[in-house]
């Protein structure tokens, strides 16, 4: 029973970190590919390298500091952050899948970035470097927060870091192969899955931080995943049905 709980919560952790990293890095990769193919691959890669170094420095500073925060406080803060972040992701994913918000279009972002680069005046290589740096740094910052919070609160920082590294490598390889066809990635479904996992972790860690006695302890994480997935499915189905009825009327 304990072994099952251990494995199921770790599975949720690995899935959440992997999908969150993949989604964020697809967004960053779109910008890097747009910058590289339009202006200069050298500047694009320089921007990526400096952003990765800056993110590494942040992890080096804040990662060890998290170990010194009392566990109950850490879990409450991390739980609250994950809950808010996860609910934001889920809200967007629900609105997108019910047609109330435009789907995240990597082709449109690619075209927008290319247009911005083409219309810019001044030092083009510097602009390419800055755009590439900003894209990787800002998306990477979300990856860092996700990995640090999920990893530190579940005492699996190593596992979370390795999972993130695997996700980033895979996205980089796939990105190099498919290059401009990143719009084929089922991003909304991935965001929905990540949102459900973040909210599940957020609920669990917030409760742990507030000394809630969860029945079955860690087993509650996969239980929350199932319950929230069902809830989201019902909400999406109801909203779609409601819209269809409104259209018929």
Partner 1 sequence: MAQDNQHSWAVRMLRGFGMFWWDFLIGDTPELFVSTVVLIGIVAALSLAGHWRWASVIVLPLGAALMLLGSVLKAIKAKKASSS
Q: Which residues bind partner 1 (CB under 8 A)?
A: 76, 80-81, 83-85, 87-88, 90-91, 94-95, 100-101, 138, 141-142, 145, 199, 202-203, 206-207, 210-215, 224, 227-228, 231-232, 235, 239
Task: Please provide the DSSP assignment of 144-191 as one string.
Answer: HHHHHHHHHHTT-HHHHHHHHHHHHHHHHHHHHHHTT-GGGS-HHHHH
Beta carbon of residue 86, minimum distance to partner 1 (angstroms, whole number): 9
What is the separation of C-alpha 55 from the centre of its chain, rounded to a whole number of angstroms?
A: 15
Least distance in Å: CB of 56 to partner 1?
17
Quote the CA–CA distance of 102 and 42 in Å, as a whole number: 33
Dihedral (CA of 135, 139, 140, 141) sign? positive
Nearer Cβ to partner 1, position 33 or 94?
A: 94
- Vertex 9: Cα angle to 193 and 25 (nearest 5): 40
Task: Look up tokens 């001044």; give the residue.
Answer: 122
- Cβ nearer to partner 1, comparing 38 with 149: 149
Q: Give least dist CB 112 to partner 1, A.
A: 19
Closest to partner 1 by CB, 38 or 154: 154
Residue number, 50 or 114, with CB nearest to partner 1: 50
CB of 96 to partner 1, least distance (A): 11
């Amino acid at each position: 029973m304990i072994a099952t709980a251990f494995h199921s919560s770790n599975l949720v952790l690995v899935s959440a970190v992997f999908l969150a990293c993949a989604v964020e890095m697809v967004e960053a990769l779109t910008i890097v590919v747009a910058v590289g193919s339009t202006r200069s691959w050298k500047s694009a890669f320089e921007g990526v390298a400096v952003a990765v170094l800056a993110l590494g420095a942040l992890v080096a500073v804040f990662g060890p500091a998290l170990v010194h925060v009392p566990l109950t406080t850490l879990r409450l803060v991390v739980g609250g952050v994950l809950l808010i972040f996860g609910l934001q992701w889920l809200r967007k994913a629900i609105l997108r899948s019910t047609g109330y918000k435009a789907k995240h279009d990597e082709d449109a972002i690619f075209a927008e970035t290319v247009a911005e680069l083409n219309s810019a005046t001044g030092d083009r290589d510097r602009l390419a470097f800055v755009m590439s740096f900003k894209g990787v740094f800002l998306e990477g910052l979300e990856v860092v927060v996700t990995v640090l919070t999920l990893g530190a609160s579940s005492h699996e920082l190593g596992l979370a870091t390795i999972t993130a590294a695997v996700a980033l490598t895979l996205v980089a390889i796939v990105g190099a192969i498919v290059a401009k066809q990143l719009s084929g990635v089922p991003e909304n479904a991935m965001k929905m899955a990540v949102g459900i996992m973040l909210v599940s972790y957020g609920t669990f860690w917030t409760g742990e931080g507030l000394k809630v006695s969860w029945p079955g302890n860690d087993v509650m994480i996969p239980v929350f995943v199932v319950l929230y997935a069902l809830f989201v499915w019902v909400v999406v189905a109801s909203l779609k049905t409601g819209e269809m009825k409104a259209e018929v009327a």
